Structure 1
Amino acid sequence: MTDFLRLADLAVRTQGGAVVSANDESFAAKENLVLPGPAQARPDFGHRGKEYDGWETRRRREPGSDWAVVRLGMPGVVRGVVVDTAFFLGNYPLQASLEGASVEGHPPASALADTEWVPLLPLSPLEGGTANAFPVEAGPRVTHVRLSIHPDGGVARLRVHGEVVPDPRLLDAGPLDLAALENGGVVTGVSNDFYGSPHQLIGRGVARSMGEGWENARRRDDGNDWVEVALACEGEVTLAELDTSYFLGNAPGAASLTGTTAGGAEVGLLPRTPLQPDTRHRFLLPGGPGVTRVRMDVFPDGGMARLRLWGRPTGAGRAALHRRWEETALGSRRSG
């Protein structure tokens, strides 16, 4: 029954999952649903009452049910669900159901109401203080799931186990992150880094909090903020990732990418494009000449967790990488 637990959790925060909306979170925040690790007991009371490591809605006084929408970090086929009510004993939902949707691009939460939702888990009974596990019959690939709890209450964690189905168009775009710090990318300029270092933008792995990204001060004029990265080598950038994970009320409204060739010419890579909060955006870029630097402009300001610029080194770029490897080898002789 629970063999699906061996499959990846498509919704977990560390893989890019995020709770994009909920109809109510009066007692505990919706974002807790997809946190990694088990829920922890919280003995404290706050202004809203007893604190819980999970999502909790108010006591419903009218017919209906509560819901939360999760954008999967990795789209795929759902094979099982865990609705964990850890530490929710007198306030857990009696039942829950789950639906899925497949949406292209990076739609705002408001647009998801009009999409087609397909049933994944029918209305099923829950127990309090329990990791309620339910197998799901394989269906279509989904990008979002909607958890409904009946009639109200608290859920500590939602785990959505399944088989990852990557977009082949993205995989074909290119294998090398030309901006990555570990590959030789360097931040060469920034307009403002009041809250967070731009070097974190090109660091390893995913950000674990807002503090592990780049964040500028609130802009009070008509300009915009920006950061410039010297690539690991001259390369053709074919896929860009602009990750606003954890930036909810302070993500940029839009962003653009501009490359610079070795000869100093500017190349438009990504026109000014709207961004969503708390989202890992992935953009296929048109082919073009190789560039050595890329500038990201954010409009008008705001924070970014990670910037990835995937592509292929040019012949000159590849030769430069080998040359630098040889020049910096132990025992090599450098003139000048």
Structure 2
Amino acid sequence: MTDLTDLPDLAVRTHGGTVMAASDEFFADKENLIKPEPPTFQPHTFTPKGQQYDGWETRRRFGRGEGNDWVVIRLGAPGIVRAIDVDTAFFLGNYPQACRIEATGAEGYPAVDDLTDWFELVPTSPLAGGTHNVFTVDCPVRVTHLRLHILPDGGVARLRVHGEVVPDPRLLTRVPFDLVATLNGGRVTDCSDSFFSPPSNMLQPGESRFMADGWETARRRDDGHDWAVVALACPATALIAELSTTHYRGNFPDRVSLSGSSGGSEWFPLLPQTRLQADTTHRFRLDGDRPITHVRIDSHPDGGIGRFRLYGTPTEQAVHGLVERWLNALPESQAVAVLAAAGLAPVPRPVADVTDLVKPLLA
């Protein structure tokens, strides 16, 4: 998975993203920007405001005044942005001439007017109509909010913000920790098949909404079976597995098994082959007591799994690693605020040894 657009979408609605505010949304609603499904278009579908578009579209500003339109998005999964896709699908005579994208990192849930310290992720760049406009981002800072400027006005169908999730370790201690959840940093690294839908769907938050919202493989006609490998958010001991076949009634796996690995190459059993039921959420206690970095789901022989959860306990070294990555990736102003809230003085970054910081930060 080398394509940056294969990385999780940090802003998508299904990951908890929300569109907080926009300068204007006269022709089409700002919330459409982060819908998970691809945009669609039906010609000759007119509302009192004109042709209906599946995206965000502002009224005409050019030649009528100064400035440009903008929209602010709170990421559902804060992290390090690697690529941004400004998708102008179906916007042909009404797409923006250019865009500029800013980001910031903030504590808690501030209002739009309280967001400060914006910095640039994508400089002013031309856009093409009716296509994906993908911009590579080279910025190692963890961000929580994005601001998309369109110059001067127009319509954007979808905004995809691909990157690496950097979870807040303060929210992962002393609570059940889903080691494979996308929002916590879990990710699929390989699979045997994803004909109908990708295995990354299994790691999404919430219950599977419909059949294509899970992982479903093609029908097998050989003596093999399907599988997917998931890298955990951090090294940990897995204790409970939850596998949901919600909406899969005539196409669920007959059996599943789970294996663990420390490194992703040599595997040992976590759960033996176990029969599943249709449209059911199954929970299994695991026997393994060895820390793992990867888990492999074996689906015998094929079929669909809606959601996969793996609850467990991070190793002490892993907790230190989570804190180190998170603290070093924070914007400077947020890092100062985080340390001050824990009763700590500012420290030079990057911090190589967080041993003395872990306990007060996670208290």
Q: With structure 1 as the length reference, what TM-score do the two structures score?
A: 0.52
Tell me what 1:152 maps to. 153
- Matches of 2:93 and 2:78, distance apart in 1: 34
CA distance in 2, matches of 1:18, 1:107: 13
Which residue of 85, 88, 91 corresponds with 1:88?
Answer: 91
Amino acid at match of 1:102: G
Shift of 1:42: 2.8
- Paired residue type of 2:141: P
1:145 Cα shift? 0.3
Q: Find the counterpart in structure 2 of residue 7 from structure 1.
A: 7
Maintained 8 Å contact 1:42/1:53: no
Percent identical pairs in the alignment equals: 60
Which letter does structure 1 place at the counterpart of 2:47?
G
Q: CA deviation at 1:139?
A: 2.7
Report the counterpart of residue 172 of structure 2 in structure 1: 171
Q: Which runs of 5+ in 1 are unaligned?
A: 178-203, 209-309, 313-336
* Cα deviation code 1:88-113 (max 9, x no counterpart): 0000001001100101001122322x
Alpha-carbon deviations, 1:101-138, whole Å to 9, x = none? 101001122322xx110100001110000111110103
Whether the 8 Å CA contact 1:173–1:311 is kept in 2: the answer is no
Residue 31 of structure 2 aligns to a residue whose secondary structure is helix
Distance 1:76 1:5 in 2: 15
CA deviations 1:207-227 (Å, max 9, x no partner) are: 97xxxxxxxxxxxxxxxxxxx
Secondary structure at the counterpart of residue 205 of structure 1: coil
Partner of 2:121, secondary structure, is strand
1:174 and 1:311 in contact (8 A); partners too = no
2:23 is matched with 23
**What is the root-mean-square deviation of aligned Cα atoms in Å?**
2.2
CA distance in 2, matches of 1:311, 1:169: 16
* Equivalent position of 2:51 in the other structure: 50
Q: What are the Cα deviations for residues 239-289 of structure 1, in whole angstroms up to 9, with x where unaligned? A: xxxxxxxxxxxxxxxxxxxxxxxxxxxxxxxxxxxxxxxxxxxxxxxxxxx
Separation in 1 of the partners of 2:47 and 2:25?
14
Aligned residue for 1:77? Answer: 80
Q: Is 1:110 matched up with 2:108?
A: no
Q: Structure 2 counterpart of 1:12, which letter?
A: V
How does 1:295-314 map onto structure 2 within 5 Å? none
Gaps of 5+ in 2: 179-204, 210-310, 314-363
Contact 1:120 1:136 in 2 (8 A): yes
1:38 CA drift (Å): 0.8
Post-superposition offset of 1:63: 1.8
1:62 Cα deviation after fit: 1.0
1-side partners of 2:9 and 2:29: how far apart?
Answer: 20
1:63 aligns with 2:66: yes
Residues of 2 paired with 1:116 and 1:14: CA distance?
27
Q: What's the counterpart of residue 34 of structure 1?
A: 34
The alignment of Structure 1 onto Structure 2 pairs a total of residues equal to 182
**Partner of 1:197 in structure 2?**
none
- Cα gap change, 1:27/1:135 in structure 2, threshold over 3 Å: closer, same or farther? same
